Every structure is written in structure tokens, then in C-alpha cells.
Amino acid sequence: MELWRWTLAPGERYDALPDGSDFSEMIWVLSGELTLETEVPRTIRAGNFMVFSSAQAYAYVNLGAEPPHFVRNVIS
């Protein structure tokens, strides 16, 4: 398991390559809101979390004017 604490500036994005088939991620947004771009994009707001398979291309995107602060757990 890996644990990361992240912040993205307004307009910033992080494009990820797919992990192995047994990998998942949990994103917990502490403040602001974060867009998770997968086949179906989702916006995660402060206080909410999402778990998804990271065995796909995905991106974290800040579409807002404020930086989101979030925790990223990578689990295999």
C-alpha cells in the first residue's frame, strides 16, 4: 500500500498510466473538489471519497479556482 497527500493548482492535471489488474486506488478529498477522469468522469467534493480500479488510464484534474487537497491510497 502507498499513501500520498496531493494538491493540484487551478488548471493542473496528473495523467496516470494503468496499473496492474490487481491495483485499486482510494481518493479522499480533504478540501476543494477534484475531477477524476476515467471512462466516466466524476467530481469528488471535500469530505467524500471514491475507490476505483487503477488498471485503466485515468487523470486527476483541478477544474476549479481553488486547489483541492486530497489523499491517494494505492492498494494491490
The alpha carbon of 6 is separated from its chain's Cα centroid by a whole number of angstroms, namely 9
CATH of domain 2-75: 2.60.120.10
Taking 90 as the threshold, does the pLDDT of residue 42 lie above it?
yes
Identity of the residue numbered 42: R
Taking 90 as the threshold, does the pLDDT of residue 37 lie above it?
yes
Q: Does this model's pTM top 0.75? A: yes
Give the pLDDT of residue 34.
Answer: 98
CB 28 within 8 A of CB 64: no
With cut-offs at 50, 70 and 90, classify the pLDDT of residue 49.
Answer: very high
- DSSP, res 46: T
Residue 39 has, within 13 A of its CA and on its CB side, a CA count of 6
Report which of 11, 57, 48 is spatially closest to residue 26, judged by C-alpha positions: 48
- DSSP, res 38: S
Give the pLDDT of residue 14.
Answer: 97
Give the pLDDT of residue 2.
Answer: 87
